[in-house]
Structure 1
Amino acid sequence: MTKTITLDLDNLHKIRDINPFLASYNVEFAEVTGGTFWKAYSDDQISGKEAFYVEPSNDGIEAMYKDLMQEYDPIDLSNEKLRYLTKALGEAWIRVSGTWSTKTYYDFVDETGGKPPQGYLNVLTKEQWIGVLDFVKAVGGHLKISMANCPGLHSAEEPWHPTEAEKIFELSQAYGVPIEAVEFANEPNMLEDTGFPKGYTAAHYRRDQDLFFQWLEEHYPNCLKVGPSSTGGDDITFGNPNNQSGAGGVEQVACETVNCEDLLEGTRVPLDIFSYHYYNGISERLASVMPEGHWSSEDALSEAYLSVASDFCKTYLPLRDRFVPGAEMWVTESGDAGGGGNTWASTYLDVPRTLNEMGTFAKLTDGIIFHNTLASSDYGYLARQVFDPRPNYFAVLLWNRLMGTEVFDSQIPIQEGAHVFVHSRKDQKDGKAILIINNSELEATSLKLESEAHIYRLSGKDGQKRADKITLNGETLSLREDGTLPELVGEVFSGSELIINPTECVFIII
């Protein structure tokens, strides 16, 4: 049965203005330095024809890495195709961080010969960091990082010191691409499992975060202090709540986790921005270790699945209000699944989740979502190494071109078939930009219209929800032969009833 909805566009309540850089993204430190990252899925695994499964090991997850990881060369950030497609997304924050950042040594004088000093796992060269700075400048980005905080820098009982921080901040500032925002550490609530020194506790973290931000205020006062960058904890459950047989958080793969309160209570240096990490669950790569945390692709359009992002946000909102009142919320890592993304992350099936996350987040708070990643693993906007745009890239490109920064209450409750978001128009003309996600796989949704509109109808190629290509108004989106983006043009609609077909995401400009 078709669901019919009506919007009273002239009488919608404005909720807020949002940060124009809402759609930002991550570049993994492991991409910059090269090294191990999540093993690529095969074409048959991506299409759903073949399962991905790695037998769990009694020796823990590290013993499984040989089957979960593979070696990658450093990303070529000078690549013209990469820069062109990134710049097309518009001005944004670029976070260069990730698990590898916590254990990376900054070798800017070629002293190591590429061999990490004791207590570190990776080496960042001056040439590699200059490559990052050139990239950020070329695409008009704003640079955000997190710091090294590992046994190579200090022991748990020794206070943090700025030896490494001085290197990367000084070089960036001198080069003319300053670090504009920083988290002290990536995912600190996992303590030793995130790379911290042996015996490191939440109390050690509070001590060291204060020391770092005191140093930052003295030397780089214009740099935003962001934190705590937690993942899980705080009663966060990964995976379908109906499938939980016990703990469903990161504590299943981490030896010890702490909550946001443990990291921030009693710290002396106030933060400028509150941050956390969101993943809808964990990917097939880790499903054998943490089965409760993995969602089936059959659930990827369900209300339960699509509500996870807003549930994360609602969990952290009171913590933001408590520890950083009045601040923006930054989701400094965001993706469909931790562990490199699900097999369907690079297909159209992840587009409804991505757009729904942006729409619901903008209704709940102001801030930024850093999609993980720009061009690494299966959740990347662009395919690794070749940089071909994936369905999520085109969906976010359209969001950035069409959806303005004023957010309105659609007055239509989120429900199957009708996830409705209303913004101002990006071109600042009178009217509204509407996004409707029909997450039903069976029923169409009807929108009553009283005026002419331009329609941008997104779906999977050939109507397949797991297609690796996305279509706009029936035309497959891909780069032209000369490597340029296709025109993204809406269709004029003059009727009184617009049908949104099952699994479609439709932008409507009025």
Structure 2
Amino acid sequence: MGSLIIRLVGLFYLVVSLLSFIGVNAMHGRESSGYEAVKGIILIHGKSHIGRIDDDFVCATLDWWPPQKCDYGTCSWGHASLLNLDLNNKILLNAVKAFSPLKIRLGGTLQDKVIYGTEDSPKPCTPFVNSSSEIFGFTEGCLPMHRWDELNSFFQKAGAKVIFGLNALAGRTLQSGSAVGPWNSSNAESFIRYTVRKNYSIAGWEFGNELCGSGVGTSVSADQYASDIAALRNIIHDVYRGIRHKPLVIAPGGFYDANWFQEFVNKSGKSVDVVSHHIYNLGAGVDEHLIERILDPSYLDGVASTFSGLKNILQNSATKAKAWVGEAGGAYNSGHHLVSDAFVYSFWYLDQLGMSAVYDTRTYCRQSLVGGNYGLLNTSTFVPNPDYYSALLWHRLMGVRVLATSFYGTKKIRAYAHCAKQSKGITILLLNLDNSTSVHAKVDFTYSKTGATAREEYHLTAQDRDLHSQTTLLNGKVLTVSAAGDIPPLNPLYVNPSMPIIVGPLSLVFAHIPDVDIPACS
């Protein structure tokens, strides 16, 4: 009986090896013929983890921009605003539900011009109107409470965790590039009280959008911002009195400026739970060199100084606040069609997720879930763009503990590793920025024990190898939403663990190694 079991186990691994060889080579064989192959080593340092992320690290944004928001002659927002988004669309609902949960940050440039239409609001509840004489190009606009009710009904159905960005300009006077005076909190407090009365779950209240440092449009001093965030903390403490789980207080939601952030962190003390910043490191959406930058490893490395700078400020201060990326679209002014909504953007996006996690960033909010040319979902159809599937795979596979990872063999491979999520072992993410070279990568560990369980691999490639494609292939199969609006299953290839991980040209690979045992993950 024992010898029969051994023979059956041996036969099983032979079948797995053959199927994995056939599967991997079906993806890389014919389409990679004529391409150079190089060998590489992924070294994972397993003694201890180097950072942590939230279990719901992946976050996406919804914005306020009306259809009249245009950039470079293109109006790409359609009906993607919080005020007009189709909340009854099945694909939208299923896309959010697939994360269980997805953090959604509600905010953006116009949040600092939003009036909340509560009963005691001092102003009429009217929509945003184009106006070139106004800061940000629009008049004030209003969020009616019936729309806030509709949004919360959707968030509850979808299982979303909501971060709401409050208007931080209320009550201030604009003077030569600066917003001066204290924050008038009355309308925001009325809105927060309404939200609590209705039992709407808010995971965090964020204060302001891009008002730190030199600001975008205008700015608020760090000293004033710290005073105002203390006022917001007091309001939340009062309104949520007796409620066990209180929301996070988040600020400043703008571009990293070392001196401003240092002063804000020092002066805000315990008032702030999360220090959030924005990333648009690729340049303007109209720029013709976006793809060159995305595929240039030295350019991608450039933003590491932002992550490390904020990490150092938080580590060397008395605060317990954590770092978040509160908004990241890569290319500002709504992105670039067939770049920021196409397959090529996953190289930038996944590299951002991996790099930010290395520097102890707890949450990363992508601009946007829907809207502009950088949505995870198509603005008009809600069909997932390639980055949606990249985000979903990360969310399902990459656990909270971040591992120190090095790659040897070529500078065109970006490598990240985490303890696996909701399972044993580790998950490795490999990005091949080279358009003509396959990489055969062996995994090596310090402080580990490994077994012989099949490795699970997820290879993402562009349809027809076209970086501008908005269609993603997973292990050689097109990912498409069903006629009923269901998100497709994301099934792995099972590969003999003795085989190298083959990373084809311009492809992305998640590899889950289930039976590696390292101290960092135990």
TM over 0.5: yes
Query: Of 452, 469, 487, which aligns to 2:489?
Result: 487
Give SS of 1:434's match.
strand
Give SS of 2:284's match.
coil
Q: 1:490 to 1:264 in 2, by over 3 A?
A: closer
Instruction: Identify unmatched segments of 5+ residues in structure 2.
Output: 1-35, 444-450, 514-522
Give SS of 1:499's match.
strand
What is the deviation of 1:448? 2.6
Query: Of 171, 174, 177, which aligns to 2:197?
Result: 174
Query: Of 9, 14, 22, which aligns to 2:49?
Result: 14
Query: Of 383, 396, 402, which aligns to 1:388?
Result: 383
1:239-278 mapped onto 2 (5 Å cutoff): 259-267=260-268, 270-278=271-279
Contact 1:102–1:195 (Cα < 8 Å) also in 2: no
Contact 2:169–2:208 (Cα < 8 Å) also in 1: no
- How far apart are the structure 2 equivalents of 1:297 and 1:282? 11
Pick which of 8-17 and 168-177 moved more. Answer: 8-17
Contact 1:18–1:366 (Cα < 8 Å) also in 2: yes
Letter in 1 for 2:60: Y
What is the deviation of 1:322? 4.2
Pick which of 367-376 and 127-136 moved more. Answer: 127-136
Contact 2:437–2:504 (Cα < 8 Å) also in 1: yes
Q: 1:209 to 1:506 in 2, by over 3 A?
A: same
Larger RCO (CA within 8 A; separation ≥ 6) = 2
What is the deviation of 1:432? 2.2
Equivalence for 1:146: 165
Are 1:296 and 2:294 an aligned pair? no
- How far apart are the structure 2 equivalents of 1:227 and 1:298? 33
TM-score (norm 1): 0.79
What is the deviation of 1:439? 1.3
TM-score (norm 2): 0.77
Q: 1:3 to 1:310 in 2, by over 3 A?
A: farther
1:87-486 mapped onto 2 (5 Å cutoff): 87-109=97-119, 112=124, 114=126, 121-150=140-169, 158-189=181-212, 193-194=216-217, 201-220=221-240, 222-234=246-258, 259-267=260-268, 270-285=271-286, 287=287, 295-323=289-317, 325-343=319-337, 344-412=339-407, 416-428=411-423, 430-448=424-442, 451=452, 452-486=454-488
Letter in 2 for 1:131: E
Letter in 2 for 1:298: E
What is the deviation of 1:357? 1.4
Q: 1:225 to 1:322 in 2, by over 3 A?
A: farther
- How far apart are the structure 1 equivalents of 2:315 and 2:336? 33
Give SS of 1:331's match.
strand
- How far apart are the structure 2 equivalents of 1:3 and 1:27? 42
Aligned length: 447
What is the deviation of 1:131? 2.0
Give a deviation string over 1:374-426, Cα, whole Å, max 9, x none: 11111110011310100000111111222222322234369623222222222
1:79-90 mapped onto 2 (5 Å cutoff): 79-90=89-100
Give a deviation string over 1:241-278, Cα, whole Å, max 9, x none: xxxxxxxxxxxxxxxxx832354553465321121111
- How far apart are the structure 2 equivalents of 1:157 and 1:314? 31
Contact 1:17–1:406 (Cα < 8 Å) also in 2: yes
Equivalence for 2:29: none
Q: 1:176 to 1:388 in 2, by over 3 A?
A: same
- How far apart are the structure 2 equivalents of 1:392 and 1:116? 30
Root-mean-square deviation (Å) = 3.0
Contact 2:431–2:507 (Cα < 8 Å) also in 1: yes
What is the deviation of 1:281? 2.7
Contact 1:439–1:502 (Cα < 8 Å) also in 2: yes
- How far apart are the structure 1 equivalents of 2:98 and 2:440? 32
Give a deviation string over 1:209-238, Cα, whole Å, max 9, x none: 33333333333362212122221434xxxx
Give a deviation string over 1:292-324, Cα, whole Å, max 9, x none: xx8432232111232244332112212223456
Letter in 2 for 1:395: S
- How far apart are the structure 1 equivalents of 2:250 and 2:144? 25
Contact 2:278–2:327 (Cα < 8 Å) also in 1: yes
Contact 1:228–1:276 (Cα < 8 Å) also in 2: yes
Give SS of 2:332's match.
coil
Instruction: Identify unmatched segments of 5+ residues in structure 1.
Output: 40-53, 55-66, 235-257, 288-293
Q: 1:351 to 1:122 in 2, by over 3 A?
A: same
Contact 2:171–2:182 (Cα < 8 Å) also in 1: no
- How far apart are the structure 2 equivalents of 1:122 and 1:275? 25
